[in-house]
Amino acid sequence: MPVRTFIWPLALVLVIAVLAGGGVWLSQREQDGLKAGTLISETASEALVGRTAEVRVPWGSLRVTVSEPIEQTEDGKQAGPGASLVGVQVALDGPEDLLVADRLPGGAMQDPTFTLVADEEEYLLEGLTGWVEGHEIAQVARRQYVALKGEPAEISLHVGYDGVDQVVDGLTGDVDRDAAEPLYELGFANGAQPCGDPLWSPGASDVGDNVTTCVVTSSAQRPYVAGLGWAPEGRNWMVVTVLTGAPTEFEGPDGTYEVADATSTYLLDARAPEESFALNDALPTGAAEDTNDPQVLVFEVDPDRPTGQFEVRTQLTGETEVTTGKKGNRKTRTETFEALVAQGAFV
């Protein structure tokens, strides 16, 4: 009996010790792994396995990959108990993926935002930003993982740019492009074309054979212009670059007038531009300027518009010296004359 009395308390102590030790072990195990909501950034030196889609933003074509729910990252970081990981990788392979990015003076390109949505829970992936560096685009792939509760039934990635979201279905790779659809249909800019013969207001004309000329150096429709934003729904921006070629002199009632002032206005399909500026004003700091300093006009147009009339109307103030009076009493005065010269092209 004394022996038994000794053994039972000892057995009870051993049981308690085992349970306590097991509790510590289980507690430690629960602390292992990444908790739901944790974001992990890793290098993207290799391709991520998952659904890949092309997503265009105004300055480039991004290759976006969303993985299925997995247990660990490429670097071996484990999801915690009852959690899984979803990885997102974004890549811009090289210069061939860059798109023409029109912008106003002072207008800047933007970084897109990336938001993972899993069963209606949103996770902003800040580790995927940092593409825009001034006027340059960094061509470095980026990868970030999100630790999630369980294995979500629905996963999507929202790629935002200046108020427009495109949605990548994480299970199929399909993309809802929304208002960014025109970015996938960009056409080449039209080449240079001369304007037609100048039309002068009454009493004015070109001097001799020095015919006033203008050249439309390019024209293209764009859905987005930095500094102006997305075109209104169902519309596009038409970006026209032109060398106006304003004359330095013209013929008027009192002979040849030197141009003291010249102001040009522009119309496309009889409508004024939304914005106009000198091309050199929009160049990055340090960029070589165009000695011709062409003008850039941005019009709002119907994407399906037929070729229409582009007009340049230049108001000229000319000055000439006129001598009056008889010999010995002659006086010279400056006479001014206002003239208008108009030219057009089909764009």
- Write out the DSSP string of 124-154: E-GGG---EETTEE----EEEEEEEES--S-
**Residue with the larger pLDDT of the pair 5 and 115:** 115
Question: What is the structure's pLDDT at 86?
Answer: 97
Residues in the chain: 347
**DSSP assignments along 290-302, one per residue:** PTT--EEEEEEE-
Question: What is the structure's pLDDT at 332?
Answer: 85
Name the residue among 7, 219, 39 with its Cα closest to residue 143.
Answer: 39
Does the pLDDT at position 244 exceed 60? yes
Mean per-residue pLDDT for 264-292?
A: 91
Reduced to 3 states (helix: H, G, I; strand: E, B; else coil), residue 118 is strand
pLDDT digits (tens, 9 = 90+) for 95-120: 889 998 899 999 999 999 999 999 99
Q: In what order do the strands lie in the sheet with 60-66?
A: 39-42, 142-149, 83-91, 60-66, 51-57
Contact by Cβ (8 Å): 225, 298: yes
* Domain segments of the chain as ranges: 39-182, 193-346
What lies within 8 Å, CB to CB, of 344 at 6+ separation is 195, 196, 309, 310, 311, 312
Largest distance between two CA atoms of the chain? 155
Question: What is the structure's pLDDT at 160?
Answer: 98
Binned at pLDDT 50, 70 and 90, residue 328 comes out as low
Question: What is the structure's pLDDT at 26?
Answer: 35
Residue carrying structure tokens 């490429």: 74
Mean per-residue pLDDT for 289-294?
A: 86
Mean per-residue pLDDT for 42-58?
A: 94
Binned at pLDDT 50, 70 and 90, residue 231 comes out as very high
Contact by Cβ (8 Å): 219, 300: no
Mean per-residue pLDDT for 45-50?
A: 92
Question: What is the structure's pLDDT at 94?
Answer: 77
Mean per-residue pLDDT for 317-321?
A: 96
What lies within 8 Å, CB to CB, of 300 at 6+ separation is 231, 232, 235, 236, 237, 238, 271, 274
Mean per-residue pLDDT for 159-164?
A: 97
Q: Is the dihedral of CA 38, 41, 45, 51 positive or negative?
A: positive
Question: What is the structure's pLDDT at 134?
Answer: 82
Binned at pLDDT 50, 70 and 90, residue 93 comes out as confident
Question: What is the structure's pLDDT at 10?
Answer: 41
**Residue with the larger pLDDT of the pair 139 and 145:** 145
Binned at pLDDT 50, 70 and 90, residue 32 comes out as low
Q: What is the percent of the chain with per-residue pLDDT over 90, rounded to a whole number?
A: 73
Mean per-residue pLDDT for 201-222?
A: 94
Does the pLDDT at position 293 exceed 60? yes
Angstrom CA distances, 72 to 126, 149, 230, stand at: 20, 14, 40
Mean per-residue pLDDT for 296-303?
A: 97
Does the pLDDT at position 3 exceed 50? no
Question: What is the structure's pLDDT at 18?
Answer: 41
Residue carrying structure tokens 């829970």: 121
pLDDT digits (tens, 9 = 90+) for 198-209: 999 999 999 988
Contact by Cβ (8 Å): 94, 101: no
